[in-house]
Amino acid sequence: MRIEQVSVFAENKPGRLMAILEVLEKADINLRAISVAETDEFGIVRMIMDNHEKAVSALKNAGFTVRTDALICGEAPDVEGGLLNSVIKPLAKEGINIDYFYTYLDKTPNKAMIVIKCSDLEKAEEILYK
């Protein structure tokens, strides 16, 4: 399924992640997944949440630079080789490049959710949801 990811660009200094999360808490936004990547000068905080439109509005009003992207969210069994065999191999065999991904555990036992940014979302959806 397609989902919207919210990315926030912030200076790489103490307290910036806290400030982002405080804005979301104040706006009653519930995070589902979060990934933080950094360089020497800035960081990118990527998030999946229960209400991305409300989150974008709150973050922009707080002065943050925000971007949204469509990604796909797939399932993998939470077992040895689950990610490799149910997501990575099928996409690689069809020539789909994964730009980045991150995972989170679903409330359902033995299931992990994978958030994927890739070269061809439509084709990846066909492969993962056939």
Same domain, 11 and 40: yes
Same domain, 122 and 78: yes
Same domain, 7 and 32: yes
pLDDT at 11: 87
What's the length of the chain?
130
Of 22, 48, 68, which residue constitutes the final position of a domain? 68
Same domain, 10 and 62: yes
pLDDT at 27: 97
Quote the strand ranges of the chain, DSSP E.
2-11, 31-38, 42-49, 65-77, 98-105, 111-118
Same domain, 50 and 85: no
Q: What is the pLDDT of residues 59-113, one digit of tens each?
A: 999 999 999 999 998 888 888 998 899 999 999 999 999 999 988 877 777 778 8
Number of domains the chain contains? 2
Same domain, 36 and 62: yes
CB atoms within 10 A of CB 97: 11
Same domain, 6 and 64: yes
Q: Residue 36 maps to which CATH number?
A: 3.30.2130.10
CB atoms within 10 A of CB 26: 10
User: How remote is the C-alpha of 15 from its chain's centroid?
Assistant: 21
Of 68, 96, 115, which residue constitutes the final position of a domain? 68
Q: Residue 116 maps to which CATH number?
A: 3.30.70.260
Better-scored residue on pLDDT, 58 or 76: 58
Same domain, 106 and 51: no
Of 68, 87, 109, which residue constitutes the final position of a domain? 68
Contact 37, 19 (CB under 8 A): no
pLDDT at 124: 92
- Nearest CA to 116 among 94, 101, 105? 101
Print the domain residue range for 12. Answer: 2-68
Contact 8, 66 (CB under 8 A): yes
